Amino acid sequence: MENSFIERAKSSCALGGAIATISSLPRSIPIVHASGGCAQTLSATYNLGSGYKGPGYCSGTMTPTSNITENNIVFGGEDRLEEQIESTLRVMDGDLYFVITGCQTEIIGDNSAEVASRFRDRPTPVIYASTPGFLGDGFRGYEAVLSSLARDFITPSTAKDKKTVNLLGLMPGQDVFYRGNLQNLVFLLNKLGIKANTFFGDGETVEKIKTYGQASYNLVFSPIHGQLASKAFEEALDIPSLTVDLPIGDTGTEAFLRQIAKTLRVPKAKLDEVIAEERAYYYSYFQRFLEIYGDLDYQRYAVVSSDINYAYPLIRFASEDLGWIPHLVVVNEEPEDEADSALYAKKFEELTASVRPKLVFEANTGQLLRHIKESWPYNHNDKYYNQLSPLFIIASSLDGSAAQKLGANFLPVSYPVTNRAVLTKGYTGYRGGLTLAEDIFSALVINR
C-alpha cells in the first residue's frame, strides 16, 4: 500500500517512538544521533500527548543528543557521535544506553552501529537501533528498540520457563494507559500462575530484562504492532508468539484468558475458578450503575475512532458489556498488508448485537466527521427523522470537536489524550473494564 500524506497523524515518527520506548525502560538513557531539535520535539509528542506522562527517567530536554549541524551533514557526524556517547557515559547515570538515529544521520550514511560497537566493552551496555523518522510512525521505533533488546542485549536461553511470558505490542506513550494496562495484565496472569515480563511496568530492572530469553511465549497485544519485535524474539531468543486482543471488561477478558490458557496449558479448573471469581467481582461493582443506566436511558450508539490496538476491544466492550449499539469503527491507521485488514474485519463477526458496526480504515483525523455523517441517512427535513442519537464517541482528544459538532457524549481513550491526566489508570482486564465504565459514565453525568 502506498503511503500518503496524513492530516493530524496520531503518532510521531520512528525516532519519537524509540525515545518514548527507551525512556520508559527502567533507568535507560537514549542517545540520539540527529539534529538538535529531534529529541525534544519528539519527546514532547508523547510526554504531553499521553495524559501528561512526562519525560520518564530521561527524555525531553534531558535527552543526550549529538545535535549535528550543517557541517556534519557535509563532513559526517561519526566523530561527534563518538564524543557524545563517551561524554554521556561520564555524565548520565543509567543501566542501559541506547544509541538511536534520526533522518539526517541516516541519509548522510553515518555508520552509527559501528560507532556504538566501539563501546561494547564498557561496564554498562551500549546498544544501538536504527530509527530514522522516515521509517514510519512511532510504533516503528518501538519495534526497533524491542528488536535490538532481543538481538543484542537479552541473553538467549534454552531453559525456558513454561509459566513465563513476555508482553509485547503495548507501546509506552502511544498507549496512554500502558502502565495501568500492564499492571492489570500482570495481576490477571499471576492469578493463573503465570509470570509476565512487562519491560515497562512496575518493578522492572535492566538486569531482569536481560533474563527475558527464558520466557516461553510472547503475548502480542496488537494485530500489527509488536509483530516485528516478536519476530526478533522468535529468531534471536527462540520464543514463539501468540497474538491476542487487548482484553477489556468481562467479554474481552474471558476470551483472552481462554485463548492463552489453551496455549500455556493452564488447567481448566484453575481457569474457570479465576474467571468466576473475577467475574463475580466485576458485576458486584458494575451493577451499581444499573439504576442510572436504566432511569436515564444510557444506552448509546457507539462510535470508536482509535488506533488498531484499541478499536476492536473498545467496540466489543461497548457492544457486549454495556449493551450499546456498535455503529461505526474508524481505525486511525491502515495495515500495510491487506490480509491483516481483512483478518481484522473478521473479528467484528464475533459481536452479538443485532447490528454490526461499519469498519473504516482512515488515518486523516479530520475525516471522522464525514465518516459518521456518511454512515447514516441524511436528514431531508423530514417530519419524522430517525437520528443517529443518542451517540457516544470513544476516540482521542483530537476528535473532541467532531463529538461537539454532533452533540455526542465523548471520552478520549486512544492516543492522544491531552484533556485528561493519567497516572495508574488502565483499562485491561475485568478491573480495567470497571475503570472504563467509570470514565464512560462520568462523561455521561458530567453536567449533573
Partner 1 sequence: MADNQNLLEGLVYNYTSATEPPTRDVRIEPTNAYLGSCRSLKCAMGQGCAKFNSRYFSQGVGCQLILALGIVRTFQNVVTIIHGPLGCASNNIGLAGFNKTSRALKGKPANDVIWIHTNLDESDVINGGAVKLRDAVLYAEKEYRPDVIVVGNSCVPGIIGDDIDAILEELEGQVSAKLVPVHCEGFRSRFVASGYDAAYHGLLKKLVDPPSRIESVLTGSSDEEERLARIRRENSRTVNLLNVGSTSYGDEVELSRILSSLGLKVNVLPLYGNIDEIARMGEAALNISICATHDDYLIGHLKERFGTQYVIDTLPIGIKNTNQWLRVIGEALGLVEETERLIDLETRQLLAALEPFKATLAGKTLWVGGGETRIFTTAEFFQSLGMKVLGLKPHNFDRFAVPMLDDIADPETSVAVAAGQPAEELVYLKRLKPDLYVGHGGANGWVVRLGIPTIPLYGQSQNYMGYSGAFELARKAARALLNTNLSKKIAANVTLPFKQQWYDSNPQDNIKETPGEEPTVRSSVQ
Residue found under cell 530484562: 209
29 binds partner 1 (CB under 8 A): yes
Q: Does 384 bind partner 1 (CB under 8 A)?
A: no
User: Which of 74, 159, 269, 446 is in the footprint of partner 1 by CB under 8 A?
Assistant: 74
CB of 356 to partner 1, least distance (A): 29
* Residue 45 Rama label (left phi>0; alpha psi -120 to 50; beta): alpha
Backbone dihedral region for residue 199 (phi beyond 0: left; psi -120 to 50: alpha; all else: beta): left
Indicate whether 353 belongs to the interface with partner 1 (CB under 8 A): no
Three cell numbers, residue 64:
543526550
With respect to partner 1, which residue has the nearer C-beta, 103 or 437? 103
Q: Does 91 bind partner 1 (CB under 8 A)?
A: yes
Among 40, 164, 181, 184, binds partner 1 (CB under 8 A): 40
Residue among 166 and 365 whose Cβ is closer to partner 1: 365
**CA 332 to each of CA 117, 166, 335, 398: distance values in angstroms, whole numbers, following the listed order:** 38, 26, 10, 12
Contact status: 73 vs partner 1 (CB under 8 A): yes
Segment lying near partner 1 (by CB under 8 A), choices 31-39, 283-291, 311-319, 440-448:
31-39
236 binds partner 1 (CB under 8 A): no
The CA-based angle 344-335-256, given to 5 degrees, is 40
379 binds partner 1 (CB under 8 A): no
Nearer to partner 1, 77 or 180 (CB): 77
Q: Which of 21, 33, 60, 116 binds partner 1 (CB under 8 A)?
A: 60
Which of 24, 47, 218, 230 is in the footprint of partner 1 by CB under 8 A?
47
418 binds partner 1 (CB under 8 A): yes
Report if residue 255 touches partner 1, rule: CB under 8 A: no
Q: What is the end-to-end Cα distance of the chain in Å, rounded? A: 48
Among 21, 22, 33, 65, binds partner 1 (CB under 8 A): 65
The interface region with partner 1, picked from 162-170, 239-247, 270-278, 396-404 by CB under 8 A, is 396-404
104 binds partner 1 (CB under 8 A): yes
Give me the residue label for grid cell 540520539. 32
Verify binding: residue 109, partner 1, rule CB under 8 A. no
Return the range that interacts with partner 1 (CB under 8 A); candidates 29-37, 233-241, 319-327, 341-349: 29-37
Cis before 412 (ω within 30): no
CA distances (Å), origin 385, targets 377, 378, 382, 389: 9, 9, 6, 11
Contacts of 142 (CB under 8 A, 6+ apart): 17, 18, 20, 21, 171, 172, 174, 225, 226, 229
Q: Give Cα separations from 335 to 72, 179, 246 (angstroms).
A: 36, 25, 17
Q: Residue 70: CB partners within 8 Å, gap ≥ 6? A: none
Residues 131-170 contacting partner 1, CB under 8 A: 132-138
